[in-house]
Amino acid sequence: MECKNISSKIIILSIIVTVLCVVQPTIGFDIPVKNRLKVKVNKCCLSKEHVGKGKTCSSSGKMPSLLDIPVYNNEKLKKSGKSVKDVFELVPNRVFLIDRKKDFQGNALRLTLYGYKGYLRVDGTLLVDAPNRYNRWIEIPPSNYCVDFLQGTNSNKFTLDFWVLFPPKTNSQINILFTIATLISCFFMLLFLIVYLFLPELRDEKGYIQMAYVASQLMAFLLLSIVQLSELSAQECVGLTLGTYFFFLSTFCWLNVLSFDIWWHFRNLAKNRQSRRKKSFKFTFYCLYALGLPLVMTFALGMLNWYSENMKRYPWIVIPHIPADGCFLQDSVKMLYLYTPMMIIIVINWTFYMLTVFNIWRWKRGTQVLDGVNDLSHRTDFRSFTIYVKLSVVMGLNWLLEIISFYYPNNKWYNITDVYNILTGLTIFIIFICKKHVWIKLQKRCNELRTRNKRGGFSKAQEVRLAQEVSL
């Protein structure tokens, strides 16, 4: 009987303890259980301290409470109706200790210093609003931030702020390899220009377009090499970045001119009509497009960067942040302002090439017999078309692979494609210069120059004959 009473008392006591732990979590001995159910959020300093100058902690009896900070829903950025005391357990002095977490104290950034805003969410994550950034909303886990009050110049005024460790930026491990490959490309592009300057018969309308295309890419690569190799001031960084951006855009605009020009030529052949516009007028129009459009876009990019502080009222506008984020365009900004226009131009180029194929088919269907001169001329035009298609395939595929590597930056295989993309100078040299008829012209030109040096010069008639011996 006595054993039954003891067991009954034990059962009743167990029920009482269970009720106290589950139904009444506010009782003193049950506070640790309650806190373990809450998400831990780091407070930068001790309970009665705030952050002062130089990320140091100091005490003040008039500091407001962090427990009343509003908390936002996870799905939508709306106040949940709860505060910190309802959802979180504040863990004081977790990050500004002298003996530990030095990496946080040295690398944590204060949000308001950069014009950012932070929103505490009920799951403990901090949602950072970074205006004028490509990735405007950044989610920070609880272990990578702390919250506290910051005392201003007026000792009675405190402002709430967050100190955040942002995800590290991916630094290229083979920048020197990129630079070497870029300089190799510059060497072959310089050889291309020397050959075209050495052979006057190559400098027809198409030849001038090709020279402008290669010269633009040469300048872009040279400026990019300077950016990669040099320690630059802020003004030098901005200037070289804008120059590199202009010449990269101009390169693709000249490639666009090549595709348009060959389409226009075969379109006139298919319709059996001659272009009435002078070649000088066409080239002037091409220059206005291939230099004017990049100039306008470069000017717009420079204005966005110059007036970045005034753009905060328009947080959806992406600012390049040069040189704060580094020289030249970085990460997502490069994707938006450089790769996107390039892809648009590549699509337009291939549209012109498909239309050109249609015009060639229509022209061949309507032409049965060609005289020898016209046949030679048309074969030359068709050869130019195939060369431009090869060039566009090489350029388009390489930049497409670079865009893919942007979305998959941790894939080591794409480092090889990036290097190959930089080696486009060698590709251009092979496509345009490593041709039998070009080498024949070089040999003839060298022989004529040697003869001229021996005889003290040659006549204008000889120069004309040299230019006409081997046609394009």
CATH superfamily of 175-434: Rhodopsin 7-helix transmembrane proteins (1.20.1070.10)
DSSP H stretches of helix in 199-330: 205-229, 234-270, 279-306
Sign of the alpha-carbon torsion through 128, 341, 431, 229: negative
**Is the distance from CB of 147 to CB of 91 less than 8 angstroms?**
no
Residue 273 tokens, joined: 């009509």
Q: If you write DSSP's letter for every residue of 305-321 in order, what string do you get?
A: HHTTGGGGGSTTSPP--
Task: Output b/e per residue, 82-102; b: 16+ Cβ within 10 A.
Answer: ebbeebbebebbbbbeeeebe
pLDDT tens digits, one per residue of 169-183? 655 444 677 778 888
Structure letter (DSSP) for residue 323: T
Containing 27, the helix (H) or strand (E) segment is: none
Average pLDDT over residues 173-198: 84
Structure letter (DSSP) for residue 38: S
pLDDT tens digits, one per residue of 430-463? 888 888 888 888 888 888 888 877 665 545 555 5
Q: If you write DSSP's letter for every residue of 340-409 in order, what string do you get?
A: HHHHHHHHHHHHHHHHHHHHHHHHHHH-----HHHHHHHHHHHHHHHHHHHHHHHHHHHHHHHHHHHH-T
Q: How far apart are the first and last CA of the chain?
A: 118
Q: If you write DSSP's letter for every residue of 71-113 in order, what string do you get?
A: EE-SSSSSEEEEEHHHHEEEETTSSS-SSS-HHHHHH-EETGG
**Is the distance from CB of 113 to CB of 107 less than 8 angstroms?**
no
Q: What is the pLDDT of residue 174?
A: 47
Instruction: Name residues whose C-beta falls within 8 Å of residue 145's C-beta, 6 or more positions apart in sequence.
Output: 42, 108, 118, 126, 162, 163, 164, 165
| Confidence tier at 238 by pLDDT (50, 70, 90) | very high
Containing 134, the helix (H) or strand (E) segment is: none
Domains of the chain, by residue range, sit at 38-164, 175-434
CATH number assigned to the domain covering 38-164: 2.170.180.11
Q: What percent of the chain has pLDDT over 90?
A: 20
Average pLDDT over residues 273-302: 86
pLDDT tens digits, one per residue of 259-278? 898 888 777 776 666 555 66
Q: What is the pLDDT of residue 8?
A: 60
Q: Mutual orientation of helices 413-422 and 372-407 as an angle, nearest 10°?
A: 140
Q: Is the peptide bond before 409 cis (omega within 30 degrees of 0)?
A: no
Structure letter (DSSP) for residue 339: I
Mean pLDDT score of the chain: 78
The winner for highest mean pLDDT among 22-26, 308-312, 335-339, 393-397 is 335-339
In this predicted structure, the answer to whether residue 221 has a pLDDT above a threshold of 70 is yes
Residue matched to tokens 């022989």: 447
The C-alpha angle with vertex 262 and arms to 258 and 265, in degrees rounded to 5, equals 140
Residue 427 tokens, joined: 């590709």
**Is the distance from CB of 425 to CB of 184 less than 8 angstroms?**
yes
The winner for highest mean pLDDT among 58-72, 311-325, 361-375, 386-400 is 311-325
Q: What is the pLDDT of residue 33?
A: 37
pLDDT tens digits, one per residue of 159-172? 889 999 888 765 54
Q: What is the pLDDT of residue 328?
A: 86
Q: What is the pLDDT of residue 278?
A: 67
Q: What is the pLDDT of residue 63?
A: 77
How far is the C-alpha of 163 from the C-alpha of 142, rounded, in Å? Answer: 11
pLDDT tens digits, one per residue of 432-441? 888 888 888 8
In this predicted structure, the answer to whether residue 222 has a pLDDT above a threshold of 60 is yes
| Confidence tier at 25 by pLDDT (50, 70, 90) | very low
In this predicted structure, the answer to whether residue 372 has a pLDDT above a threshold of 60 is no
Average pLDDT over residues 290-300: 96
pTM: 0.76
Q: Is 187 helix (H, G, I), strand (E, B) or coil?
A: helix
DSSP H stretches of helix in 123-233: 175-198, 205-229
Q: What is the pLDDT of residue 231?
A: 82
Q: What is the pLDDT of residue 274?
A: 59
pLDDT tens digits, one per residue of 383-392? 777 777 777 7
Average pLDDT over residues 301-327: 88
Q: What percent of the chain has pLDDT over 70?
A: 74
